[in-house]
Structure 1
Amino acid sequence: MTEDDGVLRTLPDTFAEHARRFYTERPEPVQPRRAATVMILRDLPHSAFTPGGIQVYMLRRMRSMAFAGGLYAFPGGRMDPSDIDVLSAAVREVQEETGLRLSELHAWSRWVTPEFEPRRYDTWFYVARAPEDADPRDISGEADWAGWMSPAEALEEHGRRMLPPTAVTLGELSQHLTVDSVLSIAEDRDLAPIVPRAVVDGPSVHLALPWDPDY
C-alpha cells in the first residue's frame, strides 16, 4: 500500500467509530444486501494536439444521505424486489438517477462492505459506454453535484471524499485511454468478492484490501 493509498483509505471519524465499536462488542455482522453501481464512460476528443482519454460520470451524494453522505460515487443503488437480478437493478438505477437507458453493461468488479458497517452491500460494479444521442441528467434528488471527470482528475481532486472501492476503480480506469480499451478487458475481469477489512492502528483506522500485506 503506497503512502497516497494510505491517505485515501484512512476512515472518516464516523466509519472509524463503527469499526472500533464492532471489534469491541463483536456483534454478528449484518448480512449484505445486493446492489449495483455503473461507471458511465465517454471518450474525449483525440487529435494531434490533444491526447484524448476517457471521462466518467460521477455524482456527490447529499450530506443527508444515510450511507456515504457527502462522498463522490457513481450512479447506483440497492436491488428492489421488482428487479430480476443485479444487472436489471443497475439498468433501473441508472435510468432513475440519470435518465439514461443503457443497453450494454459489462461487469467490472464486486465489492462487499466491511463487516463492521451497520449498512452492508454486495455491490456489483459495471462499466458502460454513454449513449451518443443522450446526456445524463441529475434527476434523482440524491446528489448536490453531478458531472464528467477524467478518472485521474477525480482521484486527484476528490480522492479523500470517496470510499475505497470508488478510488480503486478510478485508479484502474485511469490506465485506459479509450472506452474501447476498458470494455475489451471487462469480460476477463476477476469477479471474486473483494471484502475490505478494518485495521485499527492506535488513533487511526484504515481499510486493508486483499492484496495488502496487513490484510
Structure 2
Amino acid sequence: MELNTETITTPPADAATVVLLRDAAEGLQVLLLKRHQASNVLGGAYVFPGGKLDAGDQHPEVLSRLSQVADQLHARLAEPDLPSAKAAGLFVAAIREAFEECRVLLGQAQNGQTDLTALQASLSEGQSWRDALQTHALTLQTEALVPWTRWITPKQASVTNKRFDTRFFITQVPSDQTAKHDEHETTETLWIGPREALLRYWNREIELAPPQIMSLVHLSRHASAHSVLAEAASRKPPVVQPEPFDQDGIRTICYPGDPRHPIAEPAFPGPSRLMFKDKRFEPELGLAALLD
C-alpha cells in the first residue's frame, strides 16, 4: 500500500458500504472482496462491498420500492441535516452495491419468487436499476440494513486521493443466497473471521485499509451476527473523522478517544491510532493491540 501525500480540496462524495455477516461453525464471519488490482481506489485491497451514492438511488420510483418510507430511514440514519430522500437513497445505494459487487440481494419479488439470475441479466443488458426493480416487481428490504458507523475521509487522506462520506451498514446475508464477486471490480470473495482477517493482514497475506482494519477490530469483539446487529440497533452510528498527523516522519492516523483527536469519546474498541510503517498501517503496540 502506498501513502498518499496530497491535500484533497474537493468535498467528500456520499457513499454506502455494507458489512455482510454470517454465523459459521467456526463463529462469526464477515465478507471481504478483493478489489481489482487495476482499480484506482484501493486496488488489490480487501474491502466490504460498497460505492458512491448515485443520483438514481434517490429517484421517487426507486424509493417507492422500499419496505420503509424515506422519513423512517432518515430517522434510522440519525443525521438530522440530511434530506430524507438522500438518507433513503443511501440505503438504496448499500443494497444496490451489495448486489452489483457480490450478487447478494436484500429484496423480494412481489410473488415471493425472486429470480436473481434474471435480475442480473436485466442489468447486464443495460437496464437501469430503477427499471430492473420495476420489471421484476422487487421490494428492497431496508429493515435488513442496520446503520453501523459513518466514516468521513480527511482532507489529508492517507490511502486515496479521493474523499468519501461513507455510511457503513451491517446486515446478515440471507441464508438462501451465495455471495460471489463480479470478476470486474472485485476478483475474490472471502468469508473469514474478523480475528483471522487481522492475523492474515499482519502476516502480509492480505491488504486492508484503515477503515477495514478498525471495523474488523470492532467486529472481533462479537461472537455472532445477532450480537453485532443488536449493538448497532442500540445506538446512533458514531461519526469517525480520522485526524492524520506526522510524528517523527511517520504518518499517523488517530481516531476519537485518542489524546490527539478533538473528540474524547471512543467510537469503537481497539487502538486509537494507526501508524504507516513498512507500507502498511499498524498500531503502536503491534498485533496484540488489534486482537486484545
TM-score grouping bracket, smaller chain normalisation: 0.7 to 0.9
Q: Is 1:116 matched with 2:156?
A: yes
Q: Is 1:53 matched with 2:24?
A: no
With normalisation by structure 2, the TM-score equals 0.61
Q: Verify the 8 A CA contact 1:111 1:193 in the aligned structure 2.
A: yes
* Partner of residue 188 from structure 2, selected from 136, 145, 168: 145
The size of the alignment, in residue pairs, is 189
What 5-or-longer segments of structure 2 have no aligned partner?
Answer: 59-88, 107-140, 262-292
Runs of 4+ displaced beyond 4 Å = none
Alignment-mate amino acid for residue 53 of structure 1? G
- Report the alpha carbon displacement of residue 13 of structure 1 after superposing the two structures with TM: 3.6
Task: Within 5 Å, give how 1:9-158 maps onto structure 2.
Answer: 12-15=1-4, 17-18=5-6, 22=7, 29-45=9-25, 52-84=26-58, 85-102=89-106, 103=141, 104-117=144-157, 118-139=161-182, 141-158=184-201
Q: Distance in 2 between matches of 1:207 and 1:115?
A: 12
Alignment-mate amino acid for residue 176 of structure 1? H
- Three-state SS of the structure 1 residue aligned to 2:239 is coil
- Three-state SS of the structure 2 residue aligned to 1:116 is coil
Q: Distance in 2 between matches of 1:209 and 1:134?
A: 36
Q: RMSD over aligned Cα, in angstroms?
A: 1.7
- Report the alpha carbon displacement of residue 192 of structure 1 after superposing the two structures with TM: 3.8
- Report the alpha carbon displacement of residue 140 of structure 1 after superposing the two structures with TM: 5.1
- Report the alpha carbon displacement of residue 98 of structure 1 after superposing the two structures with TM: 1.1
Alignment-mate amino acid for residue 40 of structure 1? L
Superposed CA offset, 1:131-188 (max 9, x none): 1111001115112322200011111112572121111111111111111111111112
Kindly tell me: are residues 80 and 140 of structure 1, through their superposed partners in 2, closer, same or farther at Cα, counting changes over 3 Å? farther
* Partner of residue 180 from structure 1, selected from 226, 232, 235: 226
- Report the alpha carbon displacement of residue 82 of structure 1 after superposing the two structures with TM: 0.3
- Report the alpha carbon displacement of residue 54 of structure 1 after superposing the two structures with TM: 0.6
Alignment-mate amino acid for residue 87 of structure 1? F
Q: Distance in 1 between matches of 2:234 and 2:16?
A: 19
- Report the alpha carbon displacement of residue 71 of structure 1 after superposing the two structures with TM: 1.4
Q: Distance in 2 between matches of 1:86 and 1:149?
A: 26
With normalisation by structure 1, the TM-score equals 0.82
Q: Distance in 1 between matches of 2:175 and 2:220?
A: 22
Q: Aligned residue for 2:212?
A: 166
Identity of aligned residues (%): 33
What 5-or-longer segments of structure 1 have no aligned partner?
Answer: 1-11, 23-27, 46-51
Greater relative contact order (Cα 8 A, min sep 6): structure 1 or 2? 1
- Report the alpha carbon displacement of residue 38 of structure 1 after superposing the two structures with TM: 0.7
Which stretch shifts more, 138-147 or 165-174?
138-147
Q: Distance in 2 between matches of 1:13 and 1:132?
A: 38
